[in-house]
Structures are given as structure tokens and as C-alpha cells.
Structure 1
């Protein structure tokens, strides 16, 4: 959990991860899946969408409006997208409009709303599901040393390093160089970007990254979480 990983680097066997195309059968929901408007404080509510016969499932939000991170004012208001085994697939905060989630194998998706005790906003509305893949789903199949990841800072599926520190730390762990061998040269990495290009971030994004790793321990074979961070006040740098 850091500034991401430059998975295109030759140390990661020149991983060429791409997003899938939006492909499959979309269906409008007769009954919208939605939060209360506005949602409440100190809430943890899970909504489940189950579509028997689906092989891959994703959902479409018409809108998502949660409390924003503002300056030094951090917030833990988040939407967690979970697969049928409760592994976190995506995490969102703030405002987003008309977007698909990444798709997951299976016929079930859970949407978990978690809020803190401060500001409330309008919440979310889900209007469609798809039996297929979406254009925000990363295809890591070409990557022998990268198993997956998420960007909790930007709320997207591409944890590419735009700073350098995360790649440096990953190299210390994973390097297969004969002279500068890493401490775990045969391991692979799950890249979680929680820190910005200028090396700053928020504790809640780091916590969301930890949640991503712990919930995916079985699915992505995660046994160790590495974090090289320093914190001051509400801001992690």
C-alpha cells in the first residue's frame, strides 16, 4: 500500500495490463437499488444483487454522492463493492456519475455503504446490471508478477505508480537482480495505490487499502501487507 506500482517496469516482466471492453447483456432493474437520500451517519448497510445464471456480474450507478475529502478534513464514508465471497473489488468515495463497477466472476454482488459520524450526502442509485465485463475491469492475465490491485486515492482500477516510491519499495521486496536480490524474489505483488503523485494522502484511503488486502487475502493469495508511510494529523505522506 503506497503510491502504486509501475507494473510496466521490466522488473515485473513488462506487465501489460489492459482494461476489458464493455461486453455482455445489460439489464435495467425493475426495482432500483439505492440508499436513503440522504443516508445516515454511523451507518453500515449492505445491499445484495443476485442474478442466477450470470457468469460475470457488474452494476451501473446513475450517481454516487458521498462526503468528499476536503483539505485536512478526512472522511471514512465509502462504498465497497464486494463479490459473492465478500472480497472487495472496488472502493469509492466522493462524487461520481454514470459509471460501471468492475465485473467479478459469479452471479452475486454486494454493495456496502459505510459512513462516519459527520456530514451526510445524497447517497447512490443503481439502475442496471450486466452479465459480462466492463471497461473499468483490469485484465491482469498477462502479468506473471502482478496479481491485481486498486487505486483507493483516485477510486479506480489502475494502481499505476505516478510518484516512484511504491515501485522502489516493491523492488526492495521482489527484485530478482543477482546483485540486489529482494527479500522475497519469488513473490508476486498486489498493487494498492493510496498515495498521490506528490507523495501525500489520507488515512482513510490507506485504511480502505488495508480493507482491500485483508478481504482479498484468499482470492489474491495475499499473506503480507507492506506500507512505508509517515503520518501527521489527518494526512499521510
Structure 2
């Protein structure tokens, strides 16, 4: 079976390869050993309240409710109130998607932190998935920015010689065979090279936002830039997130320590026509750095989910998620199909 390729540039959805022919805990499925994700049915009352920043707190002992209290260190509501309400509204409106005919809501999804890394995850999940209060329980799957393959039958043609009206002066443009392969130059001619109105969230290993071919296009949170240092000026739950957020090191400096994210950001939105480096698919665009992968290129579903929520709630109009795995997370599919 081919590995899943999640590469989202011009639409907010996930394209997945079916995993139905894989066993739930095939050797190729990697996950965090001490965490699981549990979705309780929507009608289960978890007595949840939300603070001013949309973070939920349940007054119910979730470990006890699930019958695994002795194995649970802590539980966290994974999604914000805003994200949950949007997903509930989507379901009520019966808005369907051909990729996910019956998407669930983001209500009652908990990240469960177990006491020990040696807990038998398979056994725990098997028990939970028989619980009448549980819609699904799954591992906190790992994903990898290098963990995908390109179909061998895809052939990238040599760069075509065109007389297009838009020809960037970037010195490495002549080596960008991908431009001809996807005919972006024809899009430039017909529709322009971007007007800065779109924000692409790059969920990856971070971005070198000081790079001379990217710096001009990096998304800036003006409220935090012009606010008080050390204070959450825009009330989004993240202090001084001027250029996005690092969910790995939990700070406001989502710099790339792998270079995969910087590479992806360059393909999507390197400044074109500036006489430096390459030309991105869009020359004038906002690139939002969201670091959800470690320096080794590995990330997990719950962290990626936090990154998607951040992107959605801070104005991103497009998600770029270039990573893969054999695993399919119900949680991620439900999240990215919520408008």
C-alpha cells in the first residue's frame, strides 16, 4: 500500500490513501507511546466550560468515566470552543464532502496522557472502542515530513520555452522545472502573481523567516507586533506570536531546524521578481509559520491538530501540510473538513 501524501497548497482539505487493508496496529503505524485520543459521543455531558480564550475545561473525571482512571495522568480538551461550534454547525447543516461523507464533530475530543510509556495502547484502545460512550479511540499517530513517496508514473517534463508575459528575474528561475510541470507561468499570465490577500499556513518544521527570499512574505500578527511585550494583546491564547507559533518548543519563534518547512514555504511563496533565489507559486502572499514537527521531521496528530486550529483562528485561508504516514487519524480528517 502506498503511504499517505498530505500536501495541501491551494485547498483546505486532506487527500488520503485508504488504510482499510492495513491492520490497526501494523508495524508501519507509529504513535506516541504514552498518549491516546478519545472522542466521546456528542450526547455525553462532560460539564465543559470555556475561558475567554476558548480553552475548555471539563468538570468530569474523564479517566473515571472511561473506566481507566488508574492509567490516566491527565486529560485535555483538544479543540477550542470556536472550532467545536463550527464543526457542530456543519453537521447540523448536513454539509457533506465527497472525501468524508459523514464527518464527525470536534466536540468531546480529549487528548489522554497516560501514566506510563509502557502501557499497552492496543489493549486500552480495544477496551475503549467497546465503550458505549465512546465514538472512537485512536493512538496519537506520528507523521513524518519525509514519510511519503511520489507515484513512479508521474513524469515531470523538461522546462518549456514560453513567451509568457510574466518572466521573473530570479537567478534560479531557469532551474525551476516544476514551474513548467504545473504550468504556473500560465496562471501568472492569466491571473497575476498574487495580491497579498491570501495567507498560507505552513504546518511543518518551521520557516526561516529571516530568509531574504521569504522575509517580505512572512505573515505578521500586527496586534502582537505593536502590542506590549510579554502580553497576549489579541487574546488568542498565545503571547507575542508575532510570526506564528512553535508548538514543539512552545514559544513564539517557529524557526526551522530541519529546512523542510523553509523549502516548502519557498515553493509556495518565495518572493518573485526580486532578483533573489527562486520564484514561488505566488509572489505576493502571507506565509504563516506554524512549527508542529521536530527537527528530525517527526510530528504527531494532536500537535498538528493544535496547529490547524491556530491557523484557522488566526486568519489562514490556505493550509499547506506536506507530510505522510500509513496511518489515518479520524481526528485530523474531522478537523480539516470543518470549514
Larger radius of gyration between Structure 1 and Structure 2: 2
Task: Identify, as 1 or 2, the structure richer in helix.
Answer: 2
Tell me the TM-score normalised to structure 2 length: 0.30
Which of the pair is proportionally richer in strand? 1
Q: So what's the TM-score if we normalise by structure 1?
A: 0.42
